[in-house]
């Protein structure tokens, strides 16, 4: 079977011939021995006439596969589960795929972040799935443009807290384990689904406009924790004013007991290492950055990875906005500083609107993306600029977008012809001068 139409930045992931509307995952995890047992039911629809399909599943062993309740033949090699449907399905046909599987979950190699996916901590678990780690813990159609809702039930030892993307509906203790029941009712791509397991306590920070909480180790440093994470409710309120209402039901920051190289983005939940609990701008900006992804990246998600600036450039600019709001440094000063820095960078040539798979997470994508937004703001004025951002989220929440979509949206909202502006900032290697 040919896997046509997959993202050229991540070839071999996803199958465009079918789509998922809902994932229902029943999981059991044993920390001793790192054992995961899963039973996944996917509500699917054929997008083409198909008699077979490919599912992403990495490092775990499927034992039985069912389509509409009937057992079917399958093969599993590497990270590909090939399922023979047993009959021809016409495009538009709804069907249910169920996979029973088990094994020792482990992260998959990644050219971007060393590894991606399910990973053991010193005493717990972290799932960092961006951009292709989701198949390390559940069978899926691993494409950013295939968003679905989720129900996840996970049984873990009683003395551990389990945090999952979504809202906690309840938990049930039975013997030595507790089953945690979460639901994500907003469409979510596979790479933004996460599981975090550790010896944590929950700290409620706010309940309005949405619940805001931190899940953290009991022995966290009090001053550093408060300095880095204490302003999260204010950030939610400020970004809601600038970008529109917070797009999910709650927001959770998980702080692992281990140190992490970088924070991790997932839907309605961000993950930080113990080393980010410090009262300095280097940590505070990352708290703002991951929160901003809830609007830009999670609610509104790219259709293809070449448009990653629509996530990272927007979240980086949110850092600068919070810097000014909190009295640290103005947006204009940060823009001038980073413009000079990017101009003097002699790394490989980079085109922001299509940086290539090797450079998709290059720091220049973040900074040049933010500079593009600041240049747009300077060009059209504050009132129109923030109207562009608010209506962008309102119009596309729950969906997928492209750079072409954003250019058209900005022109429609501002009434300006911005073709030459975006051509220079997004598709030319040379960095334009900042408008004054």
Q: How many CB atoms are located within 10 Å of the residue 308 CB? A: 26
CATH 2.60.40.1730 in the chain: give the residue spans.
Answer: 1-190
pLDDT at residue 109 greater than cutoff 90 = no
Are 108 and 117 in contact by the 8 Å Cβ rule? The answer is yes
Q: What is the chain's mean pLDDT, rounded? A: 96
Tell me the residue ranges of DSSP E strands in 250-332. 251-255, 264-266, 269-272, 301-302
pLDDT tens profile 259-300: 999 999 999 999 999 999 999 999 999 999 999 999 999 999
State whether CATH 3.30.2010.30 applies to domain 199-294. yes
| Amino acid 110: pLDDT | 79
The radius of gyration computed from the CA coordinates of the chain, to the nearest angstrom, equals 22
What are 179's two structure tokens? 């089953």
d(C-alpha 64, C-alpha 334), whole Å = 55
Burial pattern 148-178, b for ≥16 Cβ within 10 A else e, equals bbbbbbbbbeeebbbbbbbbeeebeeeeebb
pLDDT at residue 331 greater than cutoff 90 = yes
State whether CATH 1.10.390.10 applies to domain 301-427. yes
- Mean pLDDT computed over 238-260: 97
Measure the CA dihedral 416/417/421/424, to 10°: 170
d(C-alpha 405, C-alpha 392), whole Å = 9
pLDDT at residue 15 greater than cutoff 90 = yes
Residue 164 has φ and ψ, to the nearest 5°, of -135, 150
Q: How confident is the model at residue 5 (pLDDT cuts 50, 70, 90)?
A: low
Helix (H) or strand (E) holding 407: helix 403-414
d(C-alpha 345, C-alpha 235), whole Å = 31
pLDDT at residue 239 greater than cutoff 80 = yes
| Amino acid 102: pLDDT | 98
What are 112's two structure tokens? 């971007």
CATH 3.30.2010.30 in the chain: give the residue spans.
Answer: 199-294
pLDDT tens profile 136-190: 999 999 999 999 999 999 999 999 999 999 999 999 999 999 999 999 999 999 9
Are 23 and 150 in contact by the 8 Å Cβ rule? The answer is yes
d(C-alpha 20, C-alpha 235), whole Å = 33
| Amino acid 1: pLDDT | 37
Q: Under DSSP, is residue 88 helix (H, G, I), strand (E, B) or coil?
A: strand
Distances (CA, A) of 172 to 28, 169, 202: 13, 10, 18
- Mean pLDDT computed over 378-390: 98
pLDDT tens profile 42-94: 999 999 999 999 999 999 999 999 999 999 999 999 899 999 999 999 999 99
Q: Under DSSP, is residue 4 helix (H, G, I), strand (E, B) or coil?
A: coil
Terminal Cα-to-Cα distance of the chain (whole angstroms): 55
| Amino acid 222: pLDDT | 86
CATH 1.10.390.10 in the chain: give the residue spans.
Answer: 301-427
Q: Could you identify the residue written with the tokens 């204009």?
A: 332
- CATH code for residues 1-190: 2.60.40.1730
């Amino acid at each position: 079977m040919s896997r046509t139409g997959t993202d050229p930045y991540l070839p071999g992931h996803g199958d465009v011939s079918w789509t998922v509307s809902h994932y229902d995952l029943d999981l059991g995890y044993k920390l001793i021995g790192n054992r995961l047992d899963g039973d996944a039911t996917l509500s699917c629809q054929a997008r083409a006439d198909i008699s077979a399909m490919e599912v992403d599943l990495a490092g775990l062993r499927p034992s039985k596969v069912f389509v509409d309740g009937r057992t079917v033949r399958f093969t599993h090699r590497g990270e590909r589960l090939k399922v023979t449907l047993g009959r021809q399905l016409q495009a538009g046909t709804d069907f249910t795929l169920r996979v029973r599987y088990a094994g020792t979950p482990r992260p998959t190699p990644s050219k971007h972040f060393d590894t991606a996916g399910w990973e053991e901590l010193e005493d717990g678990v972290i799932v960092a799935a961006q951009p292709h780690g989701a198949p390390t813990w559940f069978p899926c159609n691993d494409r950013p443009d295939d968003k679905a809702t989720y129900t996840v039930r996970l049984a873990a030892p009683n003395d551990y807290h389990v945090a999952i993307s979504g809202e906690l509906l309840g938990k049930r203790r039975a013997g030595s384990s507790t089953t945690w029941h979460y639901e994500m009712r907003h469409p979510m791509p596979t790479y933004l689904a996460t599981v975090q397991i550790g010896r944590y306590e929950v700290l409620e920070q706010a309940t309005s406009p949405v619940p805001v909480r931190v899940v953290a180790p009991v022995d966290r440093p009090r001053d550093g924790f408060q300095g880095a994470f204490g302003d999260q409710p204010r950030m939610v309120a400020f970004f809601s004013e600038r970008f529109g209402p917070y797009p999910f039901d709650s927001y959770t920051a998980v702080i692992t007991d281990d140190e992490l190289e970088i924070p991790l983005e997932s839907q309605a939940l961000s993950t930080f290492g113990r080393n980010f609990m410090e009262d300095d701008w280097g940590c505070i900006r990352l708290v703002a950055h991951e929160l901003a992804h809830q609007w830009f990246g999670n609610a509104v998600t790219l259709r293809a990875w070449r448009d990653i600036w629509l996530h990272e450039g927007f979240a980086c600019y949110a850092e600068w906005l919070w810097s000014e709001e909190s009295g640290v440094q103005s947006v204009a000063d940060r823009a001038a500083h980073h413009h000079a820095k990017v101009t003097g960078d002699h790394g490989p040539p980079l085109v922001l609107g299509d940086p290539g798979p090797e450079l998709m997470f290059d720091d220049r994508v973040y900074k040049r993306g933010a500079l593009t937004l600041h240049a747009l703001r300077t060009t059209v004025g504050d009132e129109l600029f923030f109207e562009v951002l608010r209506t962008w989220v309102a119009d596309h929440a729950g969906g997928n977008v492209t750079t072409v979509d954003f250019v058209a949206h900005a022109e429609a909202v501002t009434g300006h012809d911005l073709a030459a502006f975006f051509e220079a900032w997004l598709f030319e290697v040379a960095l334009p001068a900042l408008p004054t």
